[in-house]
């Protein structure tokens, strides 16, 4: 992932040093398990751990230099590791394993930890959303359908529904973490021909992973599930971002992204304050969805394995994990610093002269004995008159002899508190654990 959209913790998780550190621990854990099962002397395993190299930039450089000869990254890693430990103990490194045992187990380990980073970032976002929703529990605004004024709602209810969706993404990430947190150390085609299942079980327990049957590779539907969970997070964030972008339009102006001291919205127009965070999140969500498609295409492999998935995964898996964390944290910052213009919300709510209460009037007429279609036509015509003339719908109805509602019935139909009396349910639901 390019630095602009990465985070320090995801960069560290997917660095070459971290990857090879995981490979080293897997190799050493296998040697420990071989000693525990009597395949190698305990002293050999102890010597391998004692002489194991520090995985740093110099070690990575040695592996890369070796790979220029072997044209195989794991073979190069094993060569340098064995050389660092020295014979005869080092000769037991990689005993009974194939390269994918190490690569897939290490990758699943990394994705498990990445899932935790995403999960924790979602938790932080949910906290921000919950605070925003409760703060604006009673902030009335116009609800829109098809981009057109519909009926009143509250900003708190809108935000709470975002939080409910983020909570569902958090559950998806947990399920994906369970699916990907697996270990495979069963040899060339997964038959344990040169290594015992007990070794796999011991290493899996040591790494807090679950041993699973496999071919030479861990089944890629697990990785596809992880990529889908990341894409779902991105899509939820884009749903929020698109709404914020609409609400920030000059003609609406109900919310605004925070604007830091010294920040510039345009290189040419000093007045501009653009929704850059929301737009960035919208754009990056497209990458996550595209990566999920790659993950699905990686599932069908030839026979017991091929490497058609490998090159793509080196890009899409760390990039998706990094983007999911980055985008979630950026959304949390956006919402933490969001400016909510309650006055403009009130102004927009009243902009169409009360026609947003048309359903309430319609139902009141039906309750008074009028047929629904007759009532609908009367209110439809009255609403059009209210909008075109700038007259409040209430006054238009009062002048219509066909409308026989009492003053109390009219008051009830136009009572904002009545319309919004249950709007807090979404917030109450969000607050439930």
- List the catalytic residue out of 208, 266, 311, 429: 266
In a shared domain, residues 340 and 364 = no
Classify residue 419: in a domain, yes or no. no
If asked whether residues 163 and 23 sit together in one domain, one would say no
Of 95, 119, 142, the one marking the end of a domain is: 95
State mean pLDDT over 290-300: 97
How much is the average pLDDT of 141-169? 98
Catalytic residue (one of 146, 388, 401, 417): 146
Answer yes or no: do 363 and 332 share one domain: no
Say what the pLDDT of residue 286 is: 98
In a domain, 425, yes or no: no
430 within a domain of the structure (yes/no): no
Give tens-digit pLDDT for 332-343. 999 999 999 999
In angstroms, the CA 297 to CA 304 distance is 16
> Does position 298 have pLDDT exceeding 90, yes or no?
yes
CA atoms of 194 and 46, how far apart (whole Å):
22
CA dihedral 385, 390, 395, 401 (to 10 degrees): -20
pLDDT greater than 90 at residue 142: yes
pLDDT at 330: 98
Give me the CATH number covering residue 386: 1.10.40.30
Contacts of 8 (CB under 8 A, 6+ apart): none
- Domain-located, residue 7: yes
Q: Do 133 and 91 sit in the same domain of this protein?
A: no
- 25 shares a domain with 111: no
| CATH number (domain holding residue 247) | 1.20.200.10
Last residue in a domain, options 30, 61, 95: 95
Shared domain check, 55 and 117: no
Round to whole Å and give the CA distance between 273 and 287.
Answer: 26
Structure confidence at residue 119 (pLDDT) = 98
Q: Is 360 annotated in the active site?
A: no
- 142 within some domain: yes
Res 266: pLDDT: 87
The pLDDT value recorded for residue 429 is 95
Q: Based on the fold, state whether residues 124 and 20 are members of the same structural domain.
A: no
Domain count, the chain: 3
How many whole angstroms separate alpha carbon 28 and alpha carbon 52?
A: 8
**Whether residues 23 and 124 fall in one domain:** no
Q: Are residues 82 and 103 in the same domain?
A: no
Q: Is the pLDDT of residue 392 over 80?
A: yes
* Confidence check: pLDDT of 287 > 90: yes
Tens of pLDDT, residue by residue over 182-231, are 999 999 999 999 999 999 999 999 999 999 999 999 999 999 999 999 99
Q: Are residues 112 and 227 in the same domain?
A: yes
Predicted pLDDT of residue 1: 79
Report CA torsion sign: 313, 316, 322, 328. Answer: negative
**Separation in Å, CA 111 to CA 199, 227, 319:** 22, 10, 11
Residue 433 has pLDDT above 80, yes or no: no
Predicted confidence (pLDDT) per residue in 367-377, tens digit: 999 999 999 99
Is the distance from CB of 197 to CB of 169 less than 8 angstroms?
no
Q: Is residue 158 part of a domain?
A: yes
Closest CA to 364 of 398, 414, 400: 414
Residue 304 within a domain: yes
Indicate the residue among 319, 350, 381 that finishes a domain.
350
pLDDT of residue 353: 97
Stretch 363-367: mean pLDDT:
97
Q: What is the pLDDT of residues 76-107, one digit of tens each?
A: 999 999 999 999 999 999 999 999 999 999 99
Pick the range with the lowest mean pLDDT from 117-126, 257-266, 316-325, 408-417: 257-266
What pLDDT was estimated at residue 21?
A: 98
SS (H, E, C) the chain: CCHHHCCHHHHHHCCHHHHHHHHHHHHHHHHHHHHHCCCCCHHHHHHHHHHCCCCCHHHHHHHHHHHHHHCCHHHHHHHHHHHHHCCCHHHHCCCCCCHHHHHHHHHHHHHHHHHHHHHHHHHHHHHHHHHHHHHCCCCEEEEEECCEEEEEEEHHHHHHHHHHHHHHHHHHHHHHHHHHCEECCCCCCCCCCCCCHHHHHHHHHHHCCEECCCCCCCCCHHHHHHHHHHHHHHHHHHHHHHHHHHHCCCCCCCEECCCCCCCCCCCCCCCCCCCHHHHHHHHHHHHHHHHHHHHHHCCCCCCCCCCHHHHHHHHHHHHHHHHHHHHHHHHHHHHHCCEECHHHHHHHHCCCCCHHHHHHHHHHHHHCCCCHHHHHHHHHHHHHHHHHHCCCHHHHHHCCCCCCCCHHHHHHHCCHHHHCCCCCHHHHHHHCC
C-alpha to C-alpha distance for 404 and 122, rounded to whole angstroms: 53
Average of per-residue pLDDT values in the chain: 97
Is 320 among the residues known to form the active site? no
Query: What pLDDT is recorded for position 174?
Result: 98
Note whether 6 and 118 are same-domain residues.
no
Same domain, 120 and 241: yes
pLDDT at 173 over 80: yes
Q: Is residue 394 part of a domain?
A: yes
Domain that holds residue 31: 1-95
**Tell me, what CATH number does 64's domain have?**
1.10.275.10
């Amino acid at each position: 992932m390019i630095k602009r959209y990465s985070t320090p913790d995801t960069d560290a998780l997917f660095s070459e040093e971290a990857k090879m550190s995981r490979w080293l621990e897997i190799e050493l854990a296998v040697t420990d398990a071989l000693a525990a099962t009597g395949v190698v002397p305990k002293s050999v395993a102890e010597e391998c751990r004692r002489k194991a190299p520090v995985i740093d930039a110099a070690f990575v450089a040695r592996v890369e230099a070796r790979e220029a000869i072997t044209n195989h990254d794991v073979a190069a890693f094993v060569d340098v590791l064995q050389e660092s430990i020295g014979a005869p103990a080092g000769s037991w490194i990689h005993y009974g394993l194939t390269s994918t045992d190490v690569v897939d187990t290490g990758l699943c380990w990394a994705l498990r930890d990445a899932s935790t980073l995403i999960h924790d970032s979602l938790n932080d976002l949910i906290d921000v959303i919950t605070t925003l929703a409760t703060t604006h529990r009673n902030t009335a605004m116009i609800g829109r359908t098809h981009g057109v004024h519909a009926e009143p709602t509250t900003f708190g209810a809108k935000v709470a529904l975002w939080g409910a969706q983020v909570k569902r993404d958090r559950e998806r990430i947990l399920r994906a973490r369970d699916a990907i947190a697996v270990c495979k150390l069963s040899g060339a085609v997964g038959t344990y021909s040169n290594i015992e299942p007990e070794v796999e079980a011991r290493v899996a327990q040591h790494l807090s992973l679950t041993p699973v049957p496999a071919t030479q590779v861990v089944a890629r539907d697990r990785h596809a599930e992880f990529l889908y969970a990341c894409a779902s997070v991105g899509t939820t964030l884009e749903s929020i971002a698109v709404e914020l972008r609409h609400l920030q339009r000059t003609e609406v102006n109900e919310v605004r992204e925070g604007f830091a001291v010294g920040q510039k919205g345009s290189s040419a127009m000093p007045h501009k304050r653009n929704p850059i965070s929301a737009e960035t999140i919208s754009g990056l969500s497209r990458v996550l969805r595209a990566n999920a498609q790659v993950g699905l295409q990686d599932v069908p492999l030839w026979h017991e394995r091929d490497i058609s998935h490998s090159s793509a995964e080196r890009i899409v898996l760390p990039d998706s994990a990094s983007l999911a964390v980055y985008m979630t944290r950026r959304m949390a910052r956006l919402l933490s610093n969001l400016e909510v213009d309650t006055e403009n919300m009130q102004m927009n709510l009243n902009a169409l002269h009360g026609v947003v209460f048309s359903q309430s009037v319609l139902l009141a007429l039906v309750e008074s004995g009028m047929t629904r279609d007759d009532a609908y036509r009367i209110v439809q015509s009255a609403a059009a008159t209210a909008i075109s003339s700038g007259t409040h719908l209430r006054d238009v109805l009062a002048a219509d002899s066909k409308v026989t509602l009492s003053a109390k019935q009219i008051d009830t139909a136009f009572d904002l508190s009545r319309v919004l009396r249950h709007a807090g349910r979404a917030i109450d639901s969000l607050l439930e654990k």
